[in-house]
A and B are shown apart, each in its own frame.
Chain A
Amino acid sequence: MNTTMENFVGLSAVLTGFSQEIIAPTLDPVDIKSEYLKKFQDEILKESKDSHLVSQILEQFSTLKNAGKSDQEIGEAMLSDQNTQDFVMACRKLIFMWYSGAWPTISNDGLSTSSELLSSKSYVSGLAWQVMQAHPMGDSKYRYGYWETAPAPLSDYTGH
């Protein structure tokens, strides 16, 4: 019996490989998760024209989670061929959004991706900057000279 937001954050953490405490901390003044959930719901509805798809995805996650599956197992099950193409693509786009702060469009030939940023907040929240142990270009919280030495370990950035 989890809320939509709890399932959304839980699923997002599993798919991105980041801990929940990093992407949606208990004390969360930035609250990017709310912006992403809404965008996810709107875009998936628009793209799939299936008004149940998002809740189906979140319910399937919830079921797997409550069954005690590991993150790896959950991720594999969510992205498996057993699900519809729309279902799997929605999950992959969710990963892309968390990493980039942008909503992706795949080219017709499938070979490339373009994307549109949601907001300045989403841009600076992109996990791509965290996974590279750096900071969003244009928004560093570090101090003069930090670039002279190696950053904190990756685990500090991902929370795992």
Chain B
Amino acid sequence: MNTLHLLPCMTSTIKATALFLLALIVQGCGEDSQKSTSENKTQMSHKMATGTLPTLSPIIPLEITSTVNPPTLESLQHDFDVFSWQSFIALNWPANADGSPNTNLTIGDQQGAPTVWQLWKESRDIFLPSGKKPPAWNQKDKLPTACQGLALDSLPSHAIYLTQVGKTPNVLDESEEPFQTGPLIDQNGQYTRFEILTNETMFNYIVDNQLYNKKGQKAFAKDTDFPSSNTQSKTVGSIMLKAAWVVMGEKYDARQFHTTQALVYNNPDEQPGVKPACHLETVGLVGFHIAHKTQDEPQWIWSTFEHIANAPTKGQPHSRSFYNYFNAACQDCAINQPPPRPWNPATPHTPPTQVERVIPITNEVKALNAAYHSALESAVAGSVWKNYELISTQWPTNANSPIDPTGAPAPSFLANTTLETYIQGEVPQTSSSCIGCHNNATTTAGLFSDFTYLLQRAH
């Protein structure tokens, strides 16, 4: 009826062309010298074919590298999954004091050292209760009163790496999953803790547009449009992260986790009845979301990683004797059920959540995980990062669809067992889909907030 009908077909063409360019550029940022695209392509497929180890690089990829022409759903899924792993490696690279990757080290060196992303901005330091302008990128807001007595000098000796980069421990002030779905209880009966962070690009956009308070959001009066990564200018666009941490001790062996010292804070704003309290704890990473806005994926690319021992997969045999969130000995534990209210992270002991993964990890992702685990092991023997696995990557298959703002995401559903424990599954609208859900995120003024619920935290 009009010329627009070509759009769906054009999208894939655009994508293919864009990727062609990207392959050049992204590779150019890496440590290897520049290679031509065709060389790169042969090498990529060669690598996968012969089992040559993937490269570990501190450089965050700006786009995916297409390996098959014309691309298929499966080949692109693979390319996005590689993008996810590359991002994970770069973000978990040991950091210098200024937050840049320490290129004298490789990922897995100095276990327990802060990684690049841990020096990013925590949401509590962006959206201040006063609504004031947040402190500069490399500065923190003052700690919650309850945490103030527990300053750095009381840090135990094994927290040495934090002091090395001159950093105060992060404040973990969240103990519930989104939309009041509930807390996640570990095998010690304690609440899992969460934090959300943004990179500097995203932070700057919030500050520059005064989106850190309600007044600023109202005055902004238009849809939010965070900067995306740009392969031409080689700039990193907006990236946001969500991390889930389990408090170490008793059943949890700190050597199995990427750990850090954190101020574990019971936040009275979370639920009525919660009293402020703060403890300095060693916490271990169990879940990790990366959302990255790229030029060709305005719906963002959503990568999710978990600790390998989180939970067994529904209907599959148990492969481990210990799970972080599953107890094989408990026969009548209800699966994926939050504890009853009242919810309060100060509760001395809550019956552990019995978690199962509902959507199995695909064989393709399993193979990719194995390849990256080998690379991590060969870089640093016994690397703790071998204990982390990609679950999947969600990306828009039709990013510019004129009728579907979610861009027809693939896979249709994606959940992290520590971050979307209770909404795993495959029911449209209600089961976890990163893009599907974040598509409805708005500012406090009710306007589209570009796939992040963060801006709703403004006061």
Contact = CB atoms under 8 A, between A and B. Distances in A.
A/B touching: CB–CB < 8 A: yes
Nearest to A123: B428
A58 B53 CA distance: 47
B73 A29 contact: yes
B28 interface: no
Mostly helix, strand, loop or mixed at chain B's interface? loop
B305 to A, nearest CB: 21
Contacts of A138: 428-429
Mostly helix, strand, loop or mixed at chain A's interface? loop
B428 A120 contact: yes
A46 interface: no
Q: How extensive is the interface on chain B, given as a class?
A: 20 to 34
Interface of A: 19, 21-22, 25-30, 120-121, 124, 130, 136, 138-139, 141-145, 151-160
Given A138-B429, A157-B403, A30 B5 contact: no
Interface of B: 1-2, 4-5, 7-9, 12, 71-73, 76, 397-398, 402-406, 408-412, 427-429, 436, 439-440, 442, 446, 448
B402 to A, nearest CB: 4
B171 to A, nearest CB: 32
A136 B2 CA distance: 25
Nearest to B409: A29
A141 B405 contact: yes
Nearest to A125: B428
Contact of A144 (B9, B71, B403, B440): B440
Nearest to A19: B5
A127 B442 CA distance: 29
A28 B440 contact: no
A22 B405 contact: no
Contact of B406 (A25, A120, A141): A141
A30 B2 contact: no
A30 B406 CA distance: 13
B4 A29 contact: no
Contacts of A141: 404-406, 436, 439
